[in-house]
Structure 1
Amino acid sequence: MRFFLVFYFLIINLSFAQEIALLKYNGGGDWYANPTSLPNLIKYCNQNINTKIKTKPSTVEPSSPDLFSYPFVHMTGHGNVVFSDSDTKNLRNYMVSGGFLHIDDNYGMDEFVRKEIKKIFPNNDLIEIPANHAIFQKPNTFSGGIPKIHEHDGKRPQAFGVFIESRLVLLYTYETDLGDGWEDPEVHNNPIEVRTKALKMGANIINYIFNN
């Protein structure tokens, strides 16, 4: 019954009061990195894919019941991540019930966050998402899968996911740094075509959540 009510609330949220949130996690990592990225993504989506998301994203903690108020929660940072038992249980229930978590490695997060993802979903593998998946197809086509936005170690960009009954519930983007591309132009001095590419991919993520 609880899962049904949570899912119903998420549907209501999607229909009338679209809000997204940034995850404030423990462990010492800078969860607050890229402060202009979500506001810019929201603005882009509202202007280009007809969303009506509140312009200022909220902040939510992993164990908070408020987590269930948001269809999309974004997580980023450079360092350590630690989820408590209550965090992992709440995050799991949130995603199983219809929520979506996007983790964007801002560089240096990978070795820590993979362990925490496994704590949330011990029986589900984190698998690479193929380029033909719907999240790369509309409203913008990315025939090669996740785009490269910011260079770190010369590795190819990858998008990994956790699926529950064929539904993508967790997206982990690695060696792409979408959030850097969403930030204000002067922060990273990315050319307009790179920022546009990042925002278009972000719009695809939002579109997937709101329409699947």
Structure 2
Amino acid sequence: MTRYRTLAFASLLIGLAGVTLAQRGRWWSNQGIQTGRGGVPEWEVDKNFPGDLFTFVRIKYDSYGGRGGGGGWATDYRDSDLNFSLRLQQLTSLKVNPDPIVLELTDETLFDYPFIYIIEPGSLVFREAEVEALRQYCMNGGFLMVDDFWGDTQYENMRRELKRVFPDRDPFEVPLSHEIFNNVYIMDEKPQVPALNAARRGRDGRVGSWEWSSDGSDTSTPHYRGITDDEGRLMVFICHNTDLGDGWEKEGENQWYFEEFSVKKAYPMGINIVTYAMTH
């Protein structure tokens, strides 16, 4: 995109930084660290290059009119965005802004950021100006991640709104062999991350989800769908029947959930998604 910073398209090679992923937890607030960031520590950035940082951008939208329900744009905010930014800074060579931001699609600064995130789109209905802005953003090189919605009705609402944005393109199921599942972490399955209160562990030790949909449709299979540009680049990545954001937000609330879902699923998949977005 013409207004994007030089951030890393030429130099970014994300790799493990040799940092052990330990549960952050709420214990930070008990160690004399008062940051006003829900306990997430800050880190220094090079003030001479304020634009050469990855910034997590959450999209604010009007949550009404859609037929699928859902919690709206602020679900998991702000802990999810802060925790994920921290882990990107710790676990990759990417230089990350410690302060994630919220933008509307019509914000004139949108094109300064190569990655944007929409959550809980079951009720999302784009205004016409948002349709035009999102189309221009993606077709000019931007990347949209959609996360945390369950069941057929919520998916149909999102599909319908994206069809307004891309009338000549339809989402397709992205195969596990695709680069986005294999660029930093090798994913041996398409990860399903339930909300903390819907996570289950069977007697045989296998983990899964008790998540349900308001329309009664099957939510047992996670779907990762994409929309590509004319060059075959994924510009929209749709994470359906899964909640990566909860794996980020809730990492400090339950040790078992952290180990099984945050460490093994939510963070690896999130890092792979950002890596793909920043290198394509």
TM-score under structure 2 length normalisation? 0.68
How many residues are matched? 205
Q: Which residue of 2 aligns with 1:114?
A: 159
Larger radius of gyration: 2
- The equivalences for 1:144-183 within 5 A come to 144=189, 146-150=190-194, 151=209, 152-153=211-212, 154-164=219-229, 165-183=231-249
Mapped pair 1:136 → 2:181 = yes
Structure 2 portions without partners, runs of 5+: 10-51, 65-70, 195-208, 213-218
Secondary structure of the structure 1 residue equivalent to 2:257? coil
Please tell me the residue identity of whatever aligns with 2:107.
S
Contact 2:121 2:157 in 1 (8 A): no
Mapped pair 1:192 → 2:236 = no
Contact 1:71 1:209 in 2 (8 A): yes
Q: Which residue of 1 aligns with 2:100?
A: 57
Q: Which residue of 2 aligns with 1:21?
A: 57
User: Cα offset for 1:186?
Assistant: 4.9
Secondary structure of the structure 2 residue equivalent to 1:47? helix
Inter-CA distance 130–124: structure 2 relative to 1 (3 Å threshold): same
Please tell me the residue identity of whatever aligns with 1:129.
V
Contact 1:20 1:71 in 2 (8 A): no
Superposition RMSD in Å: 1.9
Structure 1 portions without partners, runs of 5+: 1-6
User: Cα offset for 1:34?
Assistant: 0.6
Task: Supply the distance in 1 between the matched residues of 2:279 and 2:128 (Cα, whole angstroms).
Answer: 31
Task: Supply the distance in 1 between the matched residues of 2:271 and 2:251 (Cα, whole angstroms).
Answer: 18
Q: Which residue of 1 aligns with 2:41?
A: none
User: Cα offset for 1:11?
Assistant: 4.4
User: Cα offset for 1:77?
Assistant: 2.0
Q: Which residue of 1 aligns with 2:22?
A: none
- The equivalences for 1:1-150 within 5 A come to 7-14=1-8, 16-28=52-64, 30-35=72-77, 36-77=79-120, 79-107=122-150, 109-144=154-189, 146-150=190-194
User: Cα offset for 1:27?
Assistant: 2.8
Contact 2:141 2:235 in 1 (8 A): yes
Structure with the largest fraction of helix: 1
User: Cα offset for 1:173?
Assistant: 0.3
Task: Supply the distance in 1 between the matched residues of 2:126 and 2:165 (Cα, whole angstroms).
Answer: 9
Task: Supply the distance in 1 between the matched residues of 2:86 and 2:80 (Cα, whole angstroms).
Answer: 10
Contact 1:73 1:101 in 2 (8 A): yes
TM-score under structure 1 length normalisation? 0.89
Task: Supply the distance in 2 between the matched residues of 1:87 and 1:127 (Cα, whole angstroms).
Answer: 23
Please tell me the residue identity of whatever aligns with 2:225.
F
Deviates more, 1:22-31 or 1:113-122: 22-31
Inter-CA distance 53–191: structure 2 relative to 1 (3 Å threshold): closer
Task: Supply the distance in 1 between the matched residues of 2:150 and 2:163 (Cα, whole angstroms).
Answer: 19
Task: Supply the distance in 1 between the matched residues of 2:76 and 2:120 (Cα, whole angstroms).
Answer: 8
